[in-house]
Amino acid sequence: MRHISLNRPFVVRSYASSWPASQLWSASYLSSALGTQPVNVALTPHGNADSVIDVGGKGEGKLFVQPYERSEPFTSAMQYIQAQELGGPAQHKNRPTRYLQTQNDNLRSEYTALFSSVPPSIPFAHIALQKQPDAINFWLGNSHSVTALHKDNYENIYVQVRGKKHFVLLPPVESVCVDERGVLAATYKPRQREGSAESEEKEEDLNNLIPHVTEPHTYTPFALWDPDTPPSDDRGTRFSHLSQPMRVTLDEGDMLYLPALWYHKVSQSCNEEGICCAVNYWYDLEFGGSFWSMANFIRGVGLLSPAKSGG
Amino acid sequence: MRHISLNRPFVVRSYASSWPASQLWSASYLSSALGTQPVNVALTPHGNADSVIDVGGKGEGKLFVQPYERSEPFTSAMQYIQAQELGGPAQHKNRPTRYLQTQNDNLRSEYTALFSSVPPSIPFAHIALQKQPDAINFWLGNSHSVTALHKDNYENIYVQVRGKKHFVLLPPVESVCVDERGVLAATYKPRQREGSAESEEKEEDLNNLIPHVTEPHTYTPFALWDPDTPPSDDRGTRFSHLSQPMRVTLDEGDMLYLPALWYHKVSQSCNEEGICCAVNYWYDLEFGGSFWSMANFIRGVGLLSPAKSGG
């Protein structure tokens, strides 16, 4: 409660070392638990799910592009992820990146066969927050996937099970640094071959994922700045250089309390089996009190400020 | 901890009913405990300690004026406070208002004879805040004193012992409503009679308290708006009318948690003995975490905004 009331991140090393998940979840265990059960797979050409891309030349136009989602048998999706990670460049040249990252409470639905390997809630979190988690999510991917800087309206308990996760963290007061803008929304889709129907989709179609603008046009507010890149005319604000990102790597068994509204960019490294696997618990944030209203006011001030670099 | 983390006020009715102070502190008990011991008394012409007054015609100039402080025997100061409250208008016409309100941890110094009547800390507060109080203050006055709207950098536990206190409360997010400005600082002093020395001060000198500007000139940031008065061209901002003050009256034995940085205006009513008496505990606020930095940023935005009424 003391930590959460400060809206300050912390890591407990080896917090989850004794969880059944930490003991059991090898690639072969996951295969035997889930088999060929269909799961939702996010496909992107460069591992960039939910990110802003430049189209039509730098500075000319931007799209907030969501991954192509597709149902695949669990085992083949995982084997693909492993092969891309462990194989040579030939294994992934021009081929899409796959990430199991549904974020819709998938550990209690798609991946329910794995749910008994983790606790149903995190004791310190439900005592402090006086609620049960809204969602418990299972994540499986490889080092090709990077989650772009964003924030969530949740208190987040993130537990690393296999491989490593690398977090870059910015507090909510740095909202003016992240260059949040409304960006035209799009979704990756396979390039349609002449005369083929969607049902005939083949593996090679997935090597040509093209952003399709969402109809009707929708603008998604999103952070454009990458905290691993100096601010430029194109991305970042005149305050970005003042940002003081925190960086932390979670090893297997480590737990991160990622406070509500903190911006985070996440990249990952695989274990020797070529997988990176994590579980996270989302608890609704406290909308009463001063935090939510103050943080939103500050974000609003940033959005109104003449904040472009060079501006 | 849950309440304090929300920065949200609350009252516990009859919290202190069983305190020795609640049982013992009659005017005669206070007299016998403190007798003619000298205490610091704040004198003002109109009960307006630490307030902003207009000088040289409305809108022309303002002073932030502090009370005239003077050492007096406790019993005679209290008797004066009682007589002003219980006597007819003749008792206080042109005569100053007295308030025992040193706010410098006086219950553990000037009023140490009374300290055993109250607990040395408030259990829930020192458990939640993990610290002991920085100051414990004793307050004794009558209905002529009003404390103008202001905020403190403290978590405040306010306990009413005799009479009533009437609080008007505004949250920190309403800082843009209070019309904070730097105001030239002054102190009330008795008008000096021709040829008299300060040591010869007489009671009638105190009927002519005049603000003396502090040298060298100092500007004290202070809230000009009175939340009991509609905003005007002279006091208030174009946001003041949006303020939603909370009002609460403390009866004898009641406790108010007054969160850090909440603006408060305080007036008071006396008991049948003609006194109003309270004790408060100040705990240092938590400067880590998000609260302090966010609240100060918001205050800064308000100070920079073109916020005058009619502006």
State which residue of chain A sits closest to B261, comparing Cα positions: A290
pLDDT of residue B194: 64
Q: What is the topology classification, in CATH, of domain B2-193+202-303?
A: Jelly Rolls (2.60.120)
Quickly state the pLDDT bin for A202 (edges 50, 70, 90): confident
Rounded alpha-carbon distances, angstroms, from residue B26 to A122, A172, B22: 53, 51, 9
CA distance A67 to B226: 55
Select the residue of A5, A8, A297 nearest B5 (Cβ to Cβ): A5
Alpha helices, DSSP H only, in A35-142?
74-86, 123-129
Q: What is the pLDDT of residue B179?
A: 95
Tokens of A107: 């550990």
Residue A173 has its nearest CB partner, among B6, B288, B290, at: B290
The reply to whether residue A294 touches residue B173, judged by beta carbons under 8 angstroms, is yes
- pLDDT of A37-72, one tens digit each? 999 999 999 999 889 999 976 556 999 999 999 999
Q: Enumerate residue ranges in chain B where pLDDT < 70.
A: 57-60, 91-92, 193-200, 307-311
Instruction: Please state whether beta strands A180-190 and A61-66 pair in parallel, antiparallel, or not at all (unpaired).
Output: parallel
Q: Which pLDDT band, with edges at 50, 70 and 90, does A311 fall under? A: very low
Residue with the two structure tokens 């996270």? A280
Name the residue of chain B whose CA is nearest to A288's CA: B6
Asked if A293 and B10 touch (Cβ cutoff 8 Å), the reply is: no
Between chain A and chain B, the number of residue pairs with CB atoms below 8 A apart is 66
* A46-63 b/e (C-beta count within 10 Å ≥ 16 → b): ebbbbbbbeeeeeeeebb
Per-chain mean pLDDT for chain A: 92
- Closest-CA residue of A relative to B262 is A290
Mutate to test the interface with A, among B2, B3, B5, B291 (most CBs of A within 10 A): B5
pLDDT of residue B310: 44
CB-nearest partner of B290 from A130, A288, A291: A291
B280 three-class SS:
strand
**The model's pTM:** 0.89
B207 part of contact set with chain A, CB < 8 Å? no
Contacts of B153 (CB under 8 A, 6+ apart): B260, B261, B284, B285
Mean pLDDT (whole number) for A164-192: 95
**How far is residue A37's CA from residue A35's CA, in Å, rounded to a whole number?**
6
pLDDT tens per residue, range B107-147: 999 999 999 999 999 999 999 999 999 999 999 999 999 99
Chosen for mutation from B126, B151, B294 (greatest number of chain A CBs closer than 10 Å) is B294
- Please give the residue of chain A at the shortest CA–CA distance from B8: A289
pLDDT at A310: 44
B289 neighbourhood in chain A, CB within 8 Å: 5-8
Inter-chain CB proximity B295 and A298 less than 8 Å: no
Pairwise pLDDT comparison (B4 vs A118), residue with the higher score: A118
Q: Would you state the pLDDT for residue B198?
A: 61
Distance to chain A for B184, nearest Cα, Å: 31
In eight-state DSSP terms, residue A67 is P
Contact A2 B301 (CB under 8 A): no
How far, in Å, CA of B275 to CA of B252, rounded? Answer: 12
B213 min Cα distance to partner chain A (Å):
37
Does an H or E element contain B204, and which? none
Q: Report ipTM (2 d.p.).
A: 0.83
Q: Does B242 touch chain A (CB under 8 A)?
A: no
pLDDT at B136: 98
User: Does any CB of chain B come closer than 8 Å to the CB of residue A246?
Assistant: no
Collect all residues of chain B within an 8 Å Cβ-Cβ radius of residue A171: 290
Say whether A294 and B293 touch across the interface (CB within 8 A): no
Query: What average pLDDT does the segment A134-138 reach?
Result: 98
Characterize the bridge pairing of strands B164-170 and A135-141.
unpaired
